[in-house]
Structure 1
Amino acid sequence: MTMRIRFLPDDVTIEAQVGEALLDAADRAGVFIPTGCLMGSCHACTVELEDGKVIRACITGVPPGKDELIINLSSDPTW
């Protein structure tokens, strides 16, 4: 099953498989999400979903049950 993922603010859209790592989907789309530890501890990969929920992209897969996932990216100058 696939889902459309839309990365804001650049409005880049890609199709991704449910369960695929969000970092992998972002990479395929040419979207940079900073990483640090790749275990969710450092919060470098924190992104916000359309509903305001904050997730860490390095430990999150594409969830089932929706047609589209909108991810709001922000840059942290620390990373």
Structure 2
Amino acid sequence: MVCVHFLPDNITTEAQVGELILDVASRCGITIPTGCLMGTCHACEVEIDDGNAIRACITAVPKRSHLTINLYSDPTW
């Protein structure tokens, strides 16, 4: 299990390695905007703790003990 922490909502949950980040957020009641659900539109882009931007609809929870995801708003969506 991976401890996943969502900012700025300050919500923490556990997730399985390989589970889609979008699904983990949804299970916690967190809405991440989506568009194409294939990763090409970048509507679901979030930032993880290492500073990289990832697309939540196509990115799985990595094998690690803790993951922080920073949700930010894109004014174009």
Which TM class, normalised by the smaller chain length? Answer: over 0.9
CA deviations on 1:41-67 (whole Å, 9 max, x unpaired) are: 000000001110110000001111x11
More helix by share: 1
Amino acid at match of 1:77: P
Q: Which runs of 4+ in 1 moved over 6 A?
A: none
5+ residue gaps, structure 2, are none
Deviations 1:13-71 (A, max 9, x none): 1100000111110000111100000011000000001110110000001111x111000
User: Secondary structure at the residue paired with 2:24?
Assistant: helix
Which segments of 5 or more consecutive residues in structure 1 lack a partner in the other structure?
Answer: none
TM-score normalised per structure 1? 0.92
How many positions carry a matched residue from both structures?
77
- Kindly report which structure 2 residues correspond to 1:1-79, keeping only aligned pairs within 5 A, or say none: 2-64=1-63, 66-79=64-77
3-state SS of 1:71 partner:
strand
Distance 1:21 1:35 in 2: 13
Q: Distance in 2 between matches of 1:45 and 1:52?
A: 16
Counting aligned pairs with the same residue, the percent is 64
